Amino acid sequence: MTEDEIRRGIINATDQEKHCFWFKRVITDIGDNIGDSNVGKFVDKSWGHPSSVDEPAQQLLNKLREKDLPEALPNNSVIQYDVKWNSNGIDPSASQEHSKYIEKLCTDFYDILIDRINQGVKEDQSINTEDPLTNEIFQHGSFCKKKCELFHGRDEYLTTVKEKLKKDQVAVLFGESGCGKTSLMAKIAMDVKKWLGEESATVVVRFIGTTPDSSDARSLMRNICEQITKANPSEDSKEEKVPQVSEKLNM
């Protein structure tokens, strides 16, 4: 892994405390074993014989390890493991200490990863937990917006509806299937507040059959009533509730 990848993935990332962890291995006595042939796999060394530590590279690495990363990550996101050098490097088959280190590293990684996944799921559920009314309004609003994106012309119909609404008259649109009633109603819903003024109209948009709650008459009417109640609360009550209706009606 390069320094650039570490900076982009950790130091310059957002919400490091939620998404970033550093499993930091420290070989405490590696400085005493620089002459070992395998040390070059763990420390930058200069070319030639005898080779030595590449000091400029080591200084840059130390800055990254001892300053930049600790400043970017909270202490509980840094899990450190101190081990002694072995002539084979990190070799769990030759060193019991290394074997325990690898086992603990795997256990810690698994536990932390599972914990973060569970926390992420909980956060996502809490963020996406919307009340049914909000979700219903959003679904129909999105449908309305999509219909308007494809809308063109029909100026004479829009003008007629606009004039009727400004006179407090009822406008009823009717026509054969496929003639464009839905798109026209979507356009009216988007423009009606411009016609009447932002504070003069409460727009309740429902396209019957586009959602489960708009496919059932009882759910549809209750949903509409709830939106109207929330949009126009009475002065003596902060929250009006729509009365429950029995599940079955005697016919």
Q: Which of 51-60, 135-144, 170-179, 193-202 has the lowest mean pLDDT?
A: 193-202
Instruction: For residue 61, give its domain range.
Output: 3-127
What proportion of the chain, given as a percentage, has pLDDT over 90?
25
Give the tens place of pLDDT for each residue, 121-147.
887 776 665 678 888 888 898 888 888
Number of domains comprising the chain: 2
CB 171 within 8 A of CB 160: yes
Q: What is the pLDDT averaged over residues 205-231?
A: 88
Band the pLDDT of 244: cuts 50, 70, 90.
low
> Is residue 225 located within the same domain as residue 181?
yes
39 vs 235, which has greater pLDDT? 39
Is residue 36 predicted with pLDDT exceeding 90?
Answer: no
Average pLDDT value over all residues in the chain: 85
Residue 19 inside a domain? The answer is: yes
Q: Among the ranges 40-49, 80-89, 212-221, 231-240, which has the highest mean pLDDT value?
A: 80-89
d(CA 26, CA 61): 13
> Is residue 139 located within the same domain as residue 122?
no
Residue 44 inside a domain? The answer is: yes
Sign of the Cα torsion 56, 57, 58, 60 reads positive
Residue 209 inside a domain? The answer is: yes
Q: What is the pLDDT averaged over residues 48-52?
A: 72
Band the pLDDT of 213: cuts 50, 70, 90.
confident
Residue 102 inside a domain? The answer is: yes
Residue 88 inside a domain? The answer is: yes
DSSP helix, strand, coil percent of the chain (3-state; round to 5) = 55, 5, 40
> Is residue 24 located within the same domain as residue 39?
yes
17 vs 246, which has greater pLDDT? 17
> Is residue 166 located within the same domain as residue 71?
no
What angle (nearest 5°) sits at the alpha carbon of residue 139, between those of residues 137 and 144?
Answer: 90
Predicted pLDDT at 120: 82
Give the tens place of pLDDT for each residue, 69-89.
999 999 999 999 999 999 888
Predicted pLDDT at 251: 43
> Is residue 153 located within the same domain as residue 122?
no
Q: What is the pLDDT averaged over residues 111-121?
A: 89
d(CA 18, CA 134): 29
Predicted pLDDT at 198: 67
pTM: 0.49
> Is residue 141 located within the same domain as residue 112?
no
Residue 157 inside a domain? The answer is: yes
The pairs formed by 89-96 with CB atoms below 8 angstroms and a separation of 24 or more are: 89/38, 89/41, 89/42, 90/25
Band the pLDDT of 91: cuts 50, 70, 90.
very high
Residue 66 inside a domain? The answer is: yes
> Is residue 70 located within the same domain as residue 118?
yes
Residue 147 inside a domain? The answer is: yes
> Is residue 149 located within the same domain as residue 217?
yes
Q: What is the pLDDT averaged over residues 174-187?
A: 87
Predicted pLDDT at 192: 87
